[in-house]
Amino acid sequence: MRPGRAGLAALTGARMPTVATAVLLVATVTAAALMQGNFFTPYGMTANFATVLPVATVAVAQTIIVVSGGIDLSIGTVVTLSSVVAVVLMDGDPARTPLALAAGLATGAACGLLNGVLVALLRLQPIVATFATSFVFGGLALLVLPTPGGAVAPAITAGYRQVVAYLVPVPALLLLALWLAWRLLKATRTGRYLYAVGGDPAAAYASAVPVSGVRVLAYTAGGTVAALAGIALLANSGSGDPFIGNQLTLGSIAALVIGGTRLRGGAGGAGGSIVGAVILTLIQNLVFFAGVPTNARELVNGAIIIAAIALAGLLATRGDRAARNVGRTV
């Protein structure tokens, strides 16, 4: 193969996962707009972004961990535990809101720190360690709030559903802030260390990168961001639930895979994960508005998500093969 054609093939192959994600996004938004008459109205945009934000936030939390070479199967229960701690302390009192939010964030950070210590310092397998801690965090959530209840300060729920400039929902602005925070992190030395450790930990160690410290930091940061997802869920629902985040773990993994982040680490980013979360949320909405029977919705959701992940995986593999072919010809 001539170098020019090889380079074109590599470029096309490398960009295909991004193109596939963009096509999925356009397709789901178009379908949602056709099936949901008020999709582009201020009310419709606010309702959709209010649902997307928690999913996208926990997907970003998972992305931080996966990029560094780990994975967190407890992240849904971290969301739950952080949210119930916050809502119990808040109990609808605006004066206690700052303390409650700080406690929720601290809870998420502590959960992430524990996971990081187990994985990076005690050298336990990430899947095994975080699967075990998911039961610990879930049990603690039930101890803190045995049944759904509690109350969120009215100012939080009201502010969460506000619209700025008659069109832009507050959750959309928070989503933008989340993406900008990721971009800032990625531009720092810490961000470069995350990719280095996830891509090749041995080479990173040889380059004087503190591999264990970076992994602990990744899990701690992921837990903190997951706590933000818990706060977003509280703002959207107005009350606490000891099971509210349990479904988010697999959703966060599916979102980042659809968005182009590789589970083996070292590649991807939060922007794609946010887009993946939007796609997943819209798919769930489409299943609802299509009138699929309740007892079949989980099946239909799962089948569509599997198809989307399979497409992203096949195109990513194609991109890798094209890049390797270029390496042989150059």
pLDDT at 250: 87
- In whole angstroms, give the CA distance from residue 264 to residue 64: 13
CATH class of the 11-325 domain in this structure: mainly alpha
Give the containing element (helix H, strand E) for 244. none
pLDDT at 14: 35
CB–CB of 225/66 below 8 Å?
A: no
The Cα-based distances of 42 to 26, 50, 167, 172 in angstroms read 20, 12, 5, 12
pLDDT at 1: 47
CB half-sphere exposure, 226, CA atoms < 13 A:
39
Tokens, residue 187: 């531009």
Residue positions counted in the chain: 330
For the full predicted model, state whether its pTM sits above 0.75: yes
pLDDT at 266: 87
Tens of each residue's pLDDT in the chain, 330 residues: 444 444 434 333 333 467 778 888 898 999 999 988 888 888 889 999 999 999 999 999 999 999 999 999 999 999 999 999 999 999 999 999 999 999 999 999 999 999 999 999 999 999 999 999 999 999 999 999 999 999 999 999 999 989 987 789 999 999 999 999 999 999 999 999 999 999 999 999 999 999 999 999 999 999 999 999 999 999 999 999 999 988 899 889 989 888 888 888 888 899 999 999 999 999 888 888 888 888 887 888 778 778 777 776 666 666 556 555 544 544
pLDDT at 322: 56
Report the relative pairing of strands 168-169 and 163-164 from DSSP bridges.
Answer: antiparallel
pLDDT at 12: 35
- Cα 227 to chain centroid, rounded: 12
Give the residue among 1, 56, 95, 41 at the shortest CA–CA distance from 328: 1
CB half-sphere exposure, 98, CA atoms < 13 A:
1
pLDDT at 324: 57
Give the residue among 241, 277, 286 at the shortest CA–CA distance from 257: 277
- In whole angstroms, give the CA distance from residue 101 to residue 20: 38
Ordered by start, the domain boundaries in the chain are 11-325
Per-position DSSP letters for 83-106, written without gaps between them: HHHHHHHHTT-GGGHHHHHHHHHH
- In whole angstroms, give the CA distance from residue 303 to residue 297: 10
pLDDT at 318: 63
- In whole angstroms, give the CA distance from residue 58 to residue 65: 11
